[in-house]
Amino acid sequence: MTVAPDFQFQNGVLHAESVPLTKLAQEFGTPLYVYSRKALNDAWESYRQAAGQRNVLICYGMKANSNLAVLNEFKNLGAGFDIVSGGELARVLAIGGDPSKIVFSGVGKQVWEMRAALKAGVKCFNVESEAELVRLAEVAGQAGVVADVSLRVNPDVDALTHPYISTGLKENKFGIAIEAALATYQRAASLPSLRVVGVDCHIGSQITEVGPYLDALEKLLALIETLAQQGVHIRHLDLGGGIGIRYTDETPLSPKVLLDQVFERLQARDLGHLQIVLEPGRSLVGNAGVLLTTVEYLKHSTAKNFAVVDAAMNDLIRPTLYDAWHSIEAVEPRGQSARKYDIVGPICESGDWLARDRMLALQQGDLLAIMSAGAYAFTMASQYNTRPRAAEVMVDGEHYHVVRPREPLHSLFASETLLPETK
């Protein structure tokens, strides 16, 4: 059974909406990313309904999936964008996104990126260190503009998730320690080329409980009250993203549960004037995509059974990087008895695995779907072993569209040059 409602079996074949995945694999080959437009819209609707008439700005965390078709869909639905690089800014501008709904996060912003964002007129810079604050003030001053800033405060809250995607603890590289936040805000307020407008926080990813958010919120609200006493008045509170999805048996946190409890606490502290900014990524796109792959070979031994497929860690690095679980579905399940397989790719690394110890009935040539592959999948793909990155297809009901073709081999080295011959 799949974990994504828009990928279901019909007449014994796994479909994306109304399109059989076998048809897409035959037409475009594998590995192949397939997305559901309906799933994107349904995920967005859960946030829109949760916000209701309250002052909430949803900025899609586009590092999860930055395909222009995905970005354009969210733009048309009313989303802002959370960016972490000048390249991501360029993508948003390329689809006609509204710069006044862009928040610029990230710990290592370069001067050229700051200049580009200032020129575009982004809503806010989420500043992550005092050194960045000083640099931004200099760049804005040189440009003759005032930069709106929010400090990313590290509240030292455990998000109860994988250590690689936990970002709110003291030992993480992100943000300014909450103990130092007041002094840093005072410094920001003293710089004429900066305007303090917000408080920002992001504690991690794949969070399935409301508790960590509320723990962070209490610390941030206390900081906002102290800032007001110091004459620094905050317009918005950015709680970041991080709401998890169901990969196997998780019970995801509802956006409505989160926002209801956030606004309850705002009202209790007479802070209802604050705009709330959220930066969801995974929860908007994670279960809107699958990765199709073909079984090339089966290897059976007394120690392990391997299904060698044509997708690899360069296509989907999450399993070997995070020990992440993705459900594996046979697109046309067989009735024969199953065996326990490791699903592995052709890359020359022992870490090139996509799933371990899965009970599957397989034959060479079978088509598999790696589920929940809409987030942190293609965006983290590489060309390792000189492998072209997969094509991406968007399904819309009975129709489908190639939103990125497969890379031709020659493009992988077209920009490289040979050294001149020695004399």
CATH 2.40.37.10 is the classification of domain 7-36+286-412: yes
Residue 355 CA, chain-centre distance (Å), reads: 21
Q: C-alpha dihedral over 110, 119, 104, 220, to 10 degrees?
A: 110
Select which of 59, 124, 201, 348 is catalytic: 348
pLDDT of residue 360: 96
Domain ranges of the chain: 7-36+286-412, 105-280
pLDDT of residue 185: 96
Under-70 pLDDT residues of the chain: 1-3, 158-173
**Is 348 known to be catalytic?**
yes
pLDDT of residue 223: 95
pTM: 0.94
Q: Which of 296, 267, 260, 133 is nearest to 200 (CA)?
A: 133
pLDDT of residue 205: 83
CATH topology of 7-36+286-412 equal to that of 105-280?
no
- Could you please report the per-residue DSSP string of 285-353? HGGGEEEEEEEEEEEE-SS-EEEEES--TTT--HHHHH-----EEESS--SSPPEEEEEE-SSSSTT-E
Cis peptide before 5 (omega within 30 of 0): no
Q: SS3 for 205?
A: coil
pLDDT of residue 166: 44
DSSP 380: G
pLDDT of residue 64: 97
Q: What are phi and psi of 57, to 5 degrees?
A: -115, 120
- Does residue 354 contact residue 381 with C-beta atoms inside 8 Å? no
- Which residues are within 8 A (CB) of 371 and not within 5 positions of it... i.e. 6 or more apart? 2, 3, 4, 7, 247, 287, 290, 326, 327, 328, 329
pLDDT of residue 162: 42
Q: What is the CA radius of gyration of the chain?
A: 23
- Does residue 236 contact residue 275 with C-beta atoms inside 8 Å? yes
CATH topology of domain 105-280: TIM Barrel (3.20.20)
**DSSP E strand stretches across 214-274:** 236-238
- Does residue 105 contact residue 86 with C-beta atoms inside 8 Å? no
